[in-house]
Amino acid sequence: MLNSCQGGWNEFTKSNPGIRRGRLVPEGRQSQIAFHTHLTHNINNLGVHQAIEFDYVLLNEGTGYSVYTGHFVAPVSGLYVFAWTITSGDYTCIVYDVVKNNEILVHFISDAADHNDWAVSSGTAVTRMNSGDRVWIRVSDIFVPCSHTVYGTGFGRGRLVPEGRQSQIAFHVHLTRNINNLGVRQAIEFNHVLLNDGNGYSVYTGHFVAPVSGLYVFAWTISSGDGTCMIYDVVKNNEILVHFISDAAQHTDWAVSSGTAVTRMNSGDRVWIRVSDIYIPCSHTVYGTGLGTSSFAGYLLN
């Protein structure tokens, strides 16, 4: 299992040669700022607020990432996208924060505290940064009765979104509370807005409405736990783009599912996340702590 922090969008997993996604980053300054890093070893008993220093660099264009601090420092101002994967296992866990200038963007857990399998948590954040701003992953100060251990893992990827109209349309929203017994096809209304450039997202409907036509990227994380599950669809104009599950029905740990979709939209098209109409014998419950355990993000690619 690989934990990584990365900057760059073309991605290929050797263990799954049939699964990949890629795109061409436009030439210009944005194509010169990207990084992708891995952790090559397990780290045990991390301290509170200790940064995870991903030590193996696959890509570091713009030299924004430092293996000595685990921080990415923005070389220029703009809209940035970050993604990460954090892994634990064998009765350990890691509660962590994705931080920008000491402001928590996302609070998350990789939870294998009650079993000897692997637990994997992944996510994506979209944020606007000024030159010199920093983003990193650190151990949370929230106490849980399991060791802060990270398995050779990954911070994700980071890159600068090209300037122009596309850099003006982006959103990143969280759920601040658990929602129980959601109804069939009920939309998940992410109620805390971190970013809403272009005003495409509505907290009242949970829908993102495309302000302009173009190619869009969406990313999400849905969490469940304590014997519950969540089967959900990512929907565009009532067409299902992705059908997914977050399944903690058989254990008391957290279950986290994350994904990415790329789709072409016309102005006025809608994308949202809703409860599926497929029945399974566990409650439709989504977990949210207000710091990103369940989140939804997207931006205009071109």
Q: Indicate the pLDDT class of residue 113, thresholds 50, 70 and 90.
A: low
How far is the C-alpha of 84 from the C-alpha of 88, rounded, in Å?
Answer: 14
Domains along the sequence of the chain with CATH: 3-160 (2.60.120.40), 165-300 (2.60.120.40)
Q: What's the farthest any 2 CA atoms get from each other in the chain?
A: 51
Q: Indicate the pLDDT class of residue 270, thresholds 50, 70 and 90.
A: very high
Candidate from 27-31, 68-72, 216-220 with smallest mean pLDDT: 27-31
**What is the pLDDT at residue 8?**
32
Residue 232 near residue 222 (C-beta atoms within 8 A) = yes
Tokens of 54: 């991903």
Per cent of the chain over pLDDT 70 is 73
Q: Indicate the pLDDT class of residue 3, thresholds 50, 70 and 90.
A: very low
What average pLDDT score do residues 191-211 get?
Answer: 96
How far is the C-alpha of 35 from the C-alpha of 40, rounded, in Å?
Answer: 16
**What is the pLDDT at residue 128?**
93
**What is the pLDDT at residue 150?**
74
- The better pLDDT of the pair 301, 13 is held by 301
**What is the pLDDT at residue 180?**
84
Query: Residue 5 — left, alpha, or beta (φ > 0 → left; ψ -120 to 50 → alpha)?
Result: beta
Q: Indicate the pLDDT class of residue 248, thresholds 50, 70 and 90.
A: low
**What is the pLDDT at residue 12?**
22
- The better pLDDT of the pair 93, 156 is held by 93
**What is the pLDDT at residue 142?**
77
What average pLDDT score do residues 101-127 get?
Answer: 77
How far is the C-alpha of 297 from the C-alpha of 87, rounded, in Å?
Answer: 22
pLDDT digits (tens, 9 = 90+) for 144-182: 666 676 767 555 556 666 565 555 899 999 898 888 888
**148 DSSP 8-state letter:** B
Helix (H) or strand (E) holding 36: strand 34-39
Q: Can you tell me whether residue 96 is helix, strand or coil?
A: strand
Q: What are phi and psi of 88, to 5 degrees?
A: -135, 175
What average pLDDT score do residues 278-298 get?
Answer: 77
**What is the pLDDT at residue 179?**
85
Q: Indicate the pLDDT class of residue 65, thresholds 50, 70 and 90.
A: very high
